[in-house]
């Protein structure tokens, strides 16, 4: 599961027409009407049949998104949740409690152009002032201090009732890593999201 964050009116630093292969297949996919997936199917039929064309498509897709960072931002759920938590931590005047909660789902919640830019600038200020790197260090210490969980498969006694072989889920230790440790936080991810916010023209979390 991931969070796809789409800019509502992103700044166009480079036109999509400057990326001809990506433009062609993006337009082809947009021709789909409702449940009709002909454009999508044709796109991947052609790309799957030609490795060089497919590589060029992905290269131009990456180049287009890097040139136009307000167009799209994506995190999987593990990365998104700590990032969105941090946004709320530094900007509760921009992100309401309701929006904060909705932002942890794919419901289409988001910010208008003015507030998206405000959030992006706030994030940029925190980065410049060194507050984000401090938060990262404190967050990492928090993760490091989380104790391991008792293995739910052997109830912490390794072989359980079988007495035949070590539990493969905990390798015989009786403990497993806490699920909370799967949620990382990183300054570079904040930098990317700050740039996206500033150039997004408002965004929706889908």
Cα separation, 154 vs 162, whole angstroms: 10
In the predicted model, what is the mean pLDDT of residues 64-89? 96
Cβ distance 64 to 14 under 8 Å? yes
pLDDT at 124: 98
CB 5 within 8 A of CB 204: yes
pLDDT computed for residue 202 by the predictor: 98
pLDDT confidence bin for 162, thresholds 50/70/90: low
Rg value, the chain, Cα: 22
Angle at 200 between CA 198 and CA 205, to 5 degrees: 115
pTM of the model: 0.84
Tell me: the pLDDT tens digits for 107-155? 999 999 999 999 999 999 999 999 999 999 999 999 999 998 888 878 7
- Minimum mean pLDDT range among 50-59, 88-97, 119-128: 50-59
For residues 100 and 154, the model is more confident at: 100
- Reading phi first (left if > 0) and then psi (alpha if -120 to 50, else beta), residue 173 is in alpha
């Amino acid at each position: 599961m991931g969070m796809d964050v789409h800019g509502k009116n992103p700044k166009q630093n480079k036109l999509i027409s400057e990326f001809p292969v990506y433009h062609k297949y993006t337009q082809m996919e947009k021709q789909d009407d409702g449940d009709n997936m002909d454009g999508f199917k044709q796109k991947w039929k052609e790309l799957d049949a030609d490795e060089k064309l497919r590589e060029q498509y992905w290269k131009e897709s990456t180049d287009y998104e890097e040139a136009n960072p307000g167009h799209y931002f994506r995190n999987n759920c593990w990365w998104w949740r700590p990032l969105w938590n941090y946004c709320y931590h530094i900007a509760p005047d921009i992100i309401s409690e309701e929006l904060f909660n909705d932002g942890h789902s794919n419901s289409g919640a988001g910010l208008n152009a003015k507030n998206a830019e405000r959030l992006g600038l706030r994030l940029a200020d925190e980065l410049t002032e060194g507050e984000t790197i401090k938060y990262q260090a404190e967050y990492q210490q928090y993760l490091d201090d989380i104790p391991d969980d008792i293995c739910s498969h052997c109830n912490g006694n390794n072989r359980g009732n079988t007495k035949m072989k070590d539990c493969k889920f905990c390798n015989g230790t009786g403990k497993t890593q806490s699920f909370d440790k799967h949620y990382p936080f990183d300054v570079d991810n904040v930098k990317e999201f700050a740039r996206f916010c500033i150039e997004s023209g408002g965004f929706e979390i889908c």
